[in-house]
Structure 1
Amino acid sequence: MIVVALGGGLGALARYGLWHVLPPPPGHFPLATFTANVLGCVLIGVLMVLITEVWSAHRLVRPFLGVGILGGFTTFSTYAVEFHELLRSGLVLGAVGYLTVTLLCALVAVILGVWGTRLGANLVRKSEAS
């Protein structure tokens, strides 16, 4: 689907820009990938609430924004490669820490994105009702 490809290209460009802002020094915590994955997870939580509970979205919004842009922005394949590189360089504790912290933060990020968006949407509804 063309909207997924276009969105994926935009998301990958955003991740590439983030990688240049936070370049990963060899053998250190890969901050750019971590940031992209956690931020992307927050935004996925926000997006899913907005397009399923708050707005009546066009059928192509989810594939373009969710699968395309946010799928291209997040990079769990790079996360796996960076984990492997940390292991290969002998930084076992750092690799396991990176693996664990990223996974936990990504899951919490989705939950916070969903929770915060629902809270905000409820506040807006209440203010509109009064």
Structure 2
Amino acid sequence: MEPYLLVSAGGFAGACSRYVVSGLIPDMPGILIVNLLGCFLLGFLMYESIYIGAFSQHTRMVYGVGFIGAFTTFSTFSYQTYIASPLAAFINVMLNVGLGILCVFAGRSVAIRLSGLR
């Protein structure tokens, strides 16, 4: 299958999933949850792909570039930060970036634990 079709399929599923989550949890909290979950999943996927070899390049494209790329949303995060009060904007940036990095680390840690490596 062509790579762009793989990315498109994953992107379709990711965008639909984000729409559902955003409908359940609107505004900044919903986007924060989406972005943190995406960071966790990408940390897990990339560790399993690069260090364990559990996922093929095509699988990484479907889930990493397609699904997670469409599920998470930097543009909405940026716009919500722009229209927020200065304090809310600061908190939003700190939570998305700070907790996002921690979620990537957590995803990687879970992958390590599940693979039995230390």
Same fold, TM-score > 0.5, yes or no? yes
Of 1, 5, 9, 1:2 maps to 5
Question: Which structure dedicates a bigger proportion of its chain to helix?
Answer: 2
Match of 2:101 in 1: 107
Structure 1, unmatched stretches of 5+, are 25-29, 124-130
Look up the equivalent residue of 1:38 and give its one-letter code. Answer: L
| Alignment partners' CA distance in 1, 2:66 and 2:92 | 26
Superposed displacement of residue 56, structure 1 = 4.3
Superposed displacement of residue 62, structure 1 = 0.7
Q: Tell me which structure has the larger Cα radius of gyration.
A: 1
Deviation sequence 1:92-124 (CA, Å, 0-9, x none): 11111111111000011001110121122117x
Deviation sequence 1:68-106 (CA, Å, 0-9, x none): 0000101011100100011xxxx1111111111110000
Of 20, 23, 26, 1:23 maps to 26
Look up the equivalent residue of 1:118 and give its one-letter code. Answer: I
Identity, % of aligned positions: 28
Superposed displacement of residue 32, structure 1 = 0.7
TM-score of the two chains, using structure 2 as the length reference: 0.90
Deviation sequence 1:11-60 (CA, Å, 0-9, x none): 01000000111122xxxxx1110000000000001111222223443331
Structure 2, unmatched stretches of 5+, are none
The count of corresponding residues between Structure 1 and Structure 2 is 114
